[in-house]
Amino acid sequence: MARSEFAEFLIARRSQLQPEEVGLPAGRRRRTPGLRREEVAALAGVSADYLARLEQGRDTNPSPAVLGALSDALRLNEVERHHFGKLALGMEHGGCPSPGQAHEQVSDTVRAVLDALHPTPALVLGRWLNILAWNAAWLDFAEPLGLLDEGVDGNLARFVFGRPEAVRHWHDWPVVADMMVSALRAARSAWPDEPGLNATIAALQQVPEFACRWREHRVGEFRTGTVHLDHPQRGEIEVEIETLSPGADQTVQVWLVDRRRVRAPGLRLVDVTEFAADRESV
């Protein structure tokens, strides 16, 4: 699997790079998109035959110098270079070693962190974006969106790609979709033999939008980002997502909802009108 991932990444990135991006003339119309294998080989200072062996999985031990040259030729950024190196390491050693079975039990400490963040929505995600735990604020925010509906299987990516309301509610759905694919790509390079992860990816590949993005092998650093959605109960909302990593298996996502409207500093975001109503009811 690691070998094909490395080869697929090479081919995908070559097909996405245009001649003018690397200082080459566009020339006549090309039969296939992107750069020719010979052009990438020349830019990297390797033979076209050697690059063909890498793309076909017939060479499994590229040197660090070759990886660096190919990264330069393909114009990879730092996140992409790191991913490329991990794929090469996995190929050399017959697949990256998986650190055992996924731990889906959320510790009491992490649950206490979720509770302490209230009323800021926060949740815990597992290796393949499976939703493991949440606080009351996140439940209140996410339930009307359908994130916990039957059929989603408690998985964030399955919701994004499998439910029509995701496209309807998320104004920047393509950005959210790229977040999901990038997270699953990173997980695949870390745990190539994880049954739950591979089952989730296999199911998602039945969705054309996911399959197309997956083939492109795009990866990015999406630990933080801002998305905009039309919430069924709260209307137009901006959500800033911050990701924390308490362990290798789990991440905590904090959803900062409409922080621009909040007057008081800090994470404890609260709607001023709701606070005033609560005071009057006491």
Give domain limits for the chain: 2-92, 108-281
What is the Cα–Cα distance from 266 to 47, expressed in whole angstroms?
A: 56
Band (pLDDT 50/70/90 cuts) for residue 1 is: very low
CA max distance for the chain: 77
Please give the backbone phi and psi of residue 252, each rounded to the nearest 5 degrees, phi first.
Answer: -105, 125
Residue 225: which H helix or E strand, with range? strand 224-231
96-112, pLDDT tens digit by residue? Answer: 445 556 677 899 999 99
3-state secondary structure of 219: coil
Triad 244, 254, 231: Cα angle to 5°: 150
Triad 81, 85, 89: Cα angle to 5°: 175
3-state DSSP helix/strand/coil % of the chain, to nearest 5: 50, 15, 35
pLDDT at 90 over 80: no
Q: Give this prediction's pTM.
A: 0.74
Residues 2-92: name the CATH superfamily.
lambda repressor-like DNA-binding domains (1.10.260.40)
Cβ–Cβ contacts within 10 Å for residue 17, how many?
Answer: 20
What's 108-281's CATH class?
A: alpha beta
Pick the closest to residue 67 from 5, 3, 6 (CA basis): 6
DSSP 8-state code for residue 19: G
**H helix intervals, 36-162:** 37-44, 48-55, 64-73, 78-92, 108-117, 136-142, 156-162
230-278, pLDDT tens digit by residue? Answer: 999 999 999 999 988 766 688 999 999 977 654 444 444 444 344 344 4
Here the tokens at position 158 are 């399955």
